[in-house]
Amino acid sequence: MAIVKMNKFTLLAFESQKTRILERLQGFAETEFVNLQDASFLEENEVFSDLSKDRDDSEFAGCEEKLSMTKFALEFLKDYIPQKSALKAMKEGKRQLTLKELETEVMSNNWEEVYKKVKEKEEVIASLEGEKTKLQSIVESLRPWEGLDVSFEELSSIKTPYFIGSVPKQYEDTLVAEMNDYYLEIISRNNQDMFFLVICGEEHKEEVSDKLRGFGFSQFKTDIKETPIKVMHDNMDTIAKLDSKKFFVQEELSGFEAGYHKLEAANEYYTNLVDRKNAISNFLRTENITVLQGWLAVEENQKLEAIIKEALGEDYYLTFEDVKDEEIDKVPVKLKNNELNSSFENITEMYATPRYDEIDPTPFVTPFYLLFFGMMVADIGYGLLQLIVTLVALKAFNLDEGTRKFAKFFYYLSYPIIGFGILYGSFFGGIIEMPWRLVDPNKDVTTILIVSVIFGAVQIFFGLGIKAYMLLRAGKPKDAFYDVGAWVITLVSVALVLGSGMLGLSPLVKNIAIGFMIFGMIVIVLTGGREEKTRGAQLGQGAYALYGITGYVGDLVSYTRLMALGLAGGSLAGAFNMIMGMIPGVAGILFAPVIFVFGHIFNLALGLLGAYVHTCRLQYVEYFGKFYEGGGKAFSPFKTQNKYINVKKD
């Protein structure tokens, strides 16, 4: 339950073996490469400065193009292939293959033939869509002229001048009045424009043209010969035929399911091949030798050496180096916890990955997170429902690693929810009266409030204890006393002095507590600014550090949310039950179950969300603020991608 001990390996091998090395290391999935081509690295390590930067290997030529082909085909086909339901997909899970099995399948599954057929169908559909769009555009342009009962060819053949087009609808009345001496036919109107035909004599052509121009006349121009209605009907018939052709093409595509799986395998294979190609940009080389470095857990050293030996025989040079002090900030951090704690690693990582020289706070987060989360939701029925759902998900479905970890997280949280539900005697907000109730949330509010603050105090002091341990481990016992011991003395003494009456302390004990309080405060003032250069600045910074005692008061107040959210959820659940009981007769029989199901599901979802957010906040602000900095670099191994297929580790 700690940060895994890492070391750095250096491997020299023949250039001709580079592809084989990359394949095996990708299947191993336990190494993170060091970028030897980085300028700052080369400046710090002159021994590598005479080597050349490695480049893309010819063996990887064309892999990006093939990856692009598979991406295109998969993206296009997904709209036509019948998709599995979410439940069925989770139950079946992804196929599992080794890298070698994946390569063998891709090399023999004629996926490129599938791609060609998909590309042909895509071009057919694109052509049909293009033709359809063109015809639809013509139909839409003719729609205002649908009522014109003369063909455009006949109209253009008349000797008399005519004008066909539109003006803004707001000028309609004025236009009709102005065109009173000429032939005016209003064809149609819409919300913005009026569409019309004007015929006049040759002698009035310029006059009519000027008047129309004043109304913002827009002339209608077209190469169509027939009447608008005929062209529209013909085009609509053609569009229907195009849709029919497209339908049959789509039906053919829906039968490409087997081909779709071939493309998935090819996409997975070439994605991993591209990753290998990109990994080469971390290496250096001579004419015949490839040089690579990487980080690896010490416990994996023997396995790496066995893999390299199996792949290369005796033709390699491999060394391991311990982490140097100057490399602490560069070492990738890998966490290793038991099954329970590993489910809570995401809580730590959302805040920050620990530095390599820190401790992994996850094991110290887990018990508090379980406790606080359970106290905020606190209902037997809700906990049982969550337990059943997560158990079914874990047992019945073939979940990927991330989803399984998320399900386990809520699985473990269901137990404290049930536990506090038993303590409060709450089953779906009291719909069934429990024969016991150790704490009544409706009456014992003060008790729950005090317990919440006590839990907060325990976590805060636990955090200070971790900080003291880290300072002692780093060989700084004085700092441990100044930054932790003095605060513990001060805080405990203040609590005893303020609570002396309630605790029934004797005057002697109270005076002793006052003495320790003054001593602790003096130590804080004298040492809180010890890093400052002048004595005055040290005392000023120390006084400001002592002012931080108000922050501890604020931290304790923050833990009252444990009480508040628990009571709020219970009250809302009780309100739904009350509404159910108020519905009389047959209506109650019909609607009460609906209110019960949707009301309590809503309350559970709200409670889980609130508990998740506020419990995280208590860890990040009130707890981590006492001892944890983070800022480490998470271990990111060179491994296979698993979008469509779970590629098994070697």
pLDDT in tens, 509-519: 888 888 888 89
* Amino acid of residue 620: Y
Picking from 333, 355, 379, the residue at the C-terminal end of a domain is: 333
Identify the pLDDT of residue 1: 53
Identify the pLDDT of residue 129: 95
Identify the pLDDT of residue 287: 85
Main-chain phi, psi angles of 563, to 5 degrees: -75, -45
In this structure, are residues 301 and 14 in contact, taking their beta carbons and an 8 Å threshold? no
Tokens representing residue 318 in the block: 């491999």
Query: In the chain, which residues have pLDDT < 50?
Result: none
Please report whether residue 212 resides in a domain: yes
Q: Please give the angle made by the CA atoms of 21, 306 and 287, to the nearest 5 degrees.
A: 35
In this structure, are residues 280 and 70 in contact, taking their beta carbons and an 8 Å threshold? no
Please report whether residue 141 resides in a domain: no
Beta bridge partners of 415: none
Asked if 489 and 356 sit in the same domain, the reply is yes
Helices (H) and strands (E) in the chain, counts: 27, 16
Picking from 333, 366, 396, the residue at the C-terminal end of a domain is: 333
d(CA 54, CA 587): 77
DSSP string, 12-33: EEEGGGHHHHHHHHHHH--EEE
Identify the pLDDT of residue 650: 65
Number of domains in the chain: 3
Identify the pLDDT of residue 348: 93
Asked if 211 and 276 sit in the same domain, the reply is no
* Amino acid of residue 273: L
d(CA 593, CA 574): 15
N-term to C-term CA, the chain: 25
Asked if 386 and 492 sit in the same domain, the reply is yes
Asked if 399 and 536 sit in the same domain, the reply is yes
Asked if 358 and 317 sit in the same domain, the reply is no
In this structure, are residues 37 and 374 in contact, taking their beta carbons and an 8 Å threshold? no
Identify the pLDDT of residue 501: 72
SS (H, E, C) 478-491: HHHHHHHHHHHHHH
Please report whether residue 138 resides in a domain: no
Task: List the one residue out of 463, 507, 484, 503 whose CA is nearest residue 627.
Answer: 463
Main-chain phi, psi angles of 571, to 5 degrees: -65, -40
d(CA 435, CA 272): 60
Identify the pLDDT of residue 584: 81
Asked if 522 and 560 sit in the same domain, the reply is yes
In this structure, are residues 360 and 1 in contact, taking their beta carbons and an 8 Å threshold? yes
* Structural domain containing residue 545: 339-634
Asked if 325 and 343 sit in the same domain, the reply is no
pLDDT in tens, 453-465: 999 999 999 999 9
Identify the pLDDT of residue 53: 86
CATH number of the CATH domain containing 185:
3.30.70.2750
Q: Is 469 left (phi over 0), alpha (psi -120 to 50) or beta?
A: alpha
- Locate tokens 């400052």: which residue? 532
Tokens representing residue 572 in the block: 């809302």
In this structure, are residues 32 and 394 in contact, taking their beta carbons and an 8 Å threshold? no
In this structure, are residues 207 and 248 in contact, taking their beta carbons and an 8 Å threshold? no
Asked if 482 and 555 sit in the same domain, the reply is yes
In this structure, are residues 9 and 294 in contact, taking their beta carbons and an 8 Å threshold? yes
Buried b (16+ CB within 10 A) or exposed e, 228-260: beebbeebeeebeebeebbeebeeebeebeebb
Asked if 198 and 307 sit in the same domain, the reply is no
Buried b (16+ CB within 10 A) or exposed e, 406-416: ebbbbbbbbeb
For 223-330, where are the alpha helices, taking DSSP H only?
228-254, 257-279, 301-312
Q: Give SS3 for 55.
A: coil
Identify the pLDDT of residue 58: 66
Tokens representing residue 71 in the block: 């991406």
Picking from 226, 241, 268, the residue at the C-terminal end of a domain is: 226
Asked if 329 and 343 sit in the same domain, the reply is no
Beta bridge partners of 165: 196, 219
Asked if 176 and 256 sit in the same domain, the reply is no
Asked if 208 and 267 sit in the same domain, the reply is no
